[in-house]
């Protein structure tokens, strides 16, 4: 669970504004809410979005900047102000602080100093969070769930798509799925979505990513789940770098309550980034030798990366299919308890995949969907509250084979 700080900046100088923008864009916990090139317009701009922090550069016109700080302090006292200047003019700094700025930083900005200042401003934020319309709302929180497989075909995409659709059904959730199986992923097939944009488009435009662009880049499924698919052309998979993904996850985390990441089976650098950024890793296994041996190998590798192994929970898929390996033997081998068991039920899984419909819409009463609904509640730590009960019942009556 993370906090995102929405920051607005005003700086009439294109050069210094650009430099500041680039520093801010590199911080995953920051959402750049607005950029303004005129001191005169800044109050109006931020009166609408009410950011968590307003950054005012003093250098283009010190008198106007100081006057703006005083005006912001009186008109929007809930928005803390960070003043910045390259001049090191003691009088101006003092005046900025007297006029209401809470923090001051010297340009060029050192990232660590910026982070510390933003942290301090967060701590003094009065009376809870504000939404973009200025009304109080719940803290912006997100849960990033990585779905990792222990061999090919173990059930990751089935779990990622159906868990994502189930999470999206809750009235309080906004859920998105990112297909990180960059070459061969099929989350778009499982949801029967022809997306206009893919992860490659987002990566190529990473420097000018904003909330609107990002929202437009995701395709929304009728279940409520949004999807950011893998690139259409296989060769475009190489366009997506770790820093791109880090930024995309950081930003999506700001606008969705739940992010599900369907990882590849290649332990690629982007997979490693996803594992590092995830709050929870569901490692999918089955009761066969290859899968269990790989779980042991993967846990050894994940343990080597700080904090990653602690986030792993084992999900055993296709329980009940023919095997001579017992659950107890599996737990003994892995050295970790099984967190969740999903039953073997090939028919609805195969049919729903072929139709491109999540189980929630195709066979809501089937055993696998019931199990995934339980898993969704377990990861959320509470009972889900479906927003579109009527719709899912109707689909259930019309199409359920169970």
Contact residues toward ligand ATP (CB under 6 A) are 149, 152-158, 181, 265, 317-318, 342, 344-346, 349-350, 353, 368
**Structure tokens, 387:** 């927003």
Q: What is the DSSP letter of 221?
A: P
CB of 152 to ligand ATP, least distance (A): 4
Q: What are phi and psi of 372, to 5 degrees?
A: -70, -35
Q: Which one, 153 or 269, has the nearer CB to ligand ATP? A: 153
Of these partners, ligand ATP, Mg ion, none, which one is at the site of residue 342 (CB under 5 to 8 Å by kind)? ligand ATP
Q: Which one, 173 or 318, has the nearer CB to ligand ATP? A: 318
Q: Find the residue with minimal CB distance to Mg ion.
A: 157
Task: Give dist(CA 80, CA 73) in Å, integer.
Answer: 8
Q: Which stretch binds Mg ion (CB under 5 A): 31-39, 156-164, 277-285, 356-364?
A: 156-164
The secondary structure of 16-55 as a DSSP string is HHHHHHHHHHT-TTEEEEEEES-HHHHHHHHHHH--SEEE
Of these partners, Mg ion, ligand ATP, none, which one is at the site of residue 308 (CB under 5 to 8 Å by kind)? none
Of these partners, ligand ATP, Mg ion, none, which one is at the site of residue 231 (CB under 5 to 8 Å by kind)? none
Of these partners, ligand ATP, Mg ion, none, which one is at the site of residue 265 (CB under 5 to 8 Å by kind)? ligand ATP
Of these partners, ligand ATP, Mg ion, none, which one is at the site of residue 77 (CB under 5 to 8 Å by kind)? none
One residue of 57, 157, 273, 317 binding Mg ion per CB under 5 A: 157
Q: Burial letters for 257-287: b for 16+ Cβ neighbours within 10 Å, e otherwise?
A: bbbbbbbbbeebebbbbbbbbbbebbbbbbb
Of these partners, Mg ion, ligand ATP, none, which one is at the site of residue 201 (CB under 5 to 8 Å by kind)? none
Residue 280: which of 148, 175, 173, 152 has the closest Cα?
148
Q: Which stretch binds Mg ion (CB under 5 A): 88-96, 120-128, 155-163, 315-323?
A: 155-163
CB of 245 to Mg ion, least distance (A): 17
Residue pair 78/107 in contact (Cβ under 8 Å)? The answer is no
SS3 334: helix
CA 61 to chain centre: 38
CB of 341 to Mg ion, least distance (A): 20
282-283-284-288 Cα dihedral, nearest 10 degrees: -160
Q: Which residue has the tokens 């195709």?
A: 362
Q: Which one, 36 or 285, has the nearer CB to Mg ion? A: 285
Task: Give dist(CA 380, CA 370) in Å, integer.
Answer: 15
Q: Which one, 28 or 186, has the nearer CB to ligand ATP? A: 186
Q: Which one, 252 or 315, has the nearer CB to ligand ATP? A: 315
**Structure tokens, 209:** 């990513």
CB of 157 to ligand ATP, least distance (A): 3
Q: Which one, 85 or 317, has the nearer CB to Mg ion? A: 317
Q: Burial letters for 74-112: b for 16+ Cβ neighbours within 10 Å, e otherwise?
A: eebeebbbbbbbeeeeeebbebbeebbbbbbbebebeee
CB of 184 to Mg ion, least distance (A): 8
Of these partners, ligand ATP, Mg ion, none, which one is at the site of residue 296 (CB under 5 to 8 Å by kind)? none
CB of 337 to ligand ATP, least distance (A): 20
Q: Is 161 exposed, middle or buried (0-12, 13-18, 19+ CB in 10 A)?
A: buried
**How many amino acids of this chain bind Mg ion (CB under 5 A)?**
2
Task: Give dist(CA 87, CA 168) in Å, integer.
Answer: 50
Q: Does residue 264 interact with Mg ion by CB under 5 A?
A: no
Q: Which one, 176 or 284, has the nearer CB to ligand ATP? A: 284
Residue pair 375/315 in contact (Cβ under 8 Å)? The answer is yes
CB of 353 to ligand ATP, least distance (A): 5
CB of 151 to ligand ATP, least distance (A): 7
Q: Which one, 1 or 350, has the nearer CB to ligand ATP? A: 350
- The contact set with Mg ion (CB under 5 A) reads 156-157
């Amino acid at each position: 669970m993370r906090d995102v700080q929405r920051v607005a900046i005003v700086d009439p100088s294109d050069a210094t504004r650009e430099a500041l923008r680039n520093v801010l864009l590199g911080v995953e916990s920051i959402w750049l809410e607005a950029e303004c090139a005129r001191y005169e317009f800044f109050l109006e701009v931020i009166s609408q979005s009410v950011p968590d922090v307003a950054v005012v550069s003093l250098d283009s016109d010190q008198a106007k900047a100081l006057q703006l700080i005083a005006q912001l302090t009186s008109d929007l006292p809930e928005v803390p102000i960070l003043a910045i200047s390259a001049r090191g003019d003691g009088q101006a700094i003092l005046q900025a602080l007297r006029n209401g700025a809470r923090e001051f930083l010297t340009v060029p900005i050192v990232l660590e100093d910026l982070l510390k200042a933003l942290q301090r401003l967060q701590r003094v934020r009065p009376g809870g969070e504000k939404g973009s319309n200025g009304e109080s709302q719940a803290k912006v929180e997100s849960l990033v769930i990585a779905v990792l497989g222990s061999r090919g075909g173990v059930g990751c995409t089935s779990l990622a798509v159906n868990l994502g659709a189930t999470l999206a059904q809750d009235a309080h959730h906004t859920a998105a799925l990112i297909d990180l199986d960059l070459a061969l992923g099929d989350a778009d097939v499982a949801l029967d979505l022809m997306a206009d944009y893919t992860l490659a488009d987002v990566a190529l435009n990473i420097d000018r990513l904003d909330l609107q662009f990002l929202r437009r880049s995701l395709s929304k499924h009728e279940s409520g789940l949004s999807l950011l698919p893998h690139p259409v052309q296989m060769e475009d998979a190489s366009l997506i770098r770790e820093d791109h993904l880090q930024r995309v996850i950081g930003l999506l985390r700001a606008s969705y309550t739940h992010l599900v990441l369907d990882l590849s089976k290649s332990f690629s650098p982007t997979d490693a980034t996803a594992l590092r950024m995830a709050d929870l890793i569901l490692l999918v296994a089955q009761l066969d030798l290859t899968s269990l041996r790989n779980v042991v190998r993967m846990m050894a590798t994940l343990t080597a990366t700080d904090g990653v192994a602690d986030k792993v929970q084992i999900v055993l898929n296709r329980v009940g299919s023919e095997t001579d390996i017992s659950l107890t033997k599996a737990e003994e081998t892995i050295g970790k308890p099984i967190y969740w068991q999903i039953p073997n039920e090939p028919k609805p899984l195969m049919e729903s995949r072929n139709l491109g419909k999540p189980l929630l819409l195709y066979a809501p009463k089937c055993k696998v969907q019931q199990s995934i609904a339980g898993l969704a509640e377990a990861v959320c730590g509470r009972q889900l509250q479906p927003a579109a009960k009527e719709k899912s019942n109707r689909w259930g009556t019309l199409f359920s084979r169970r």
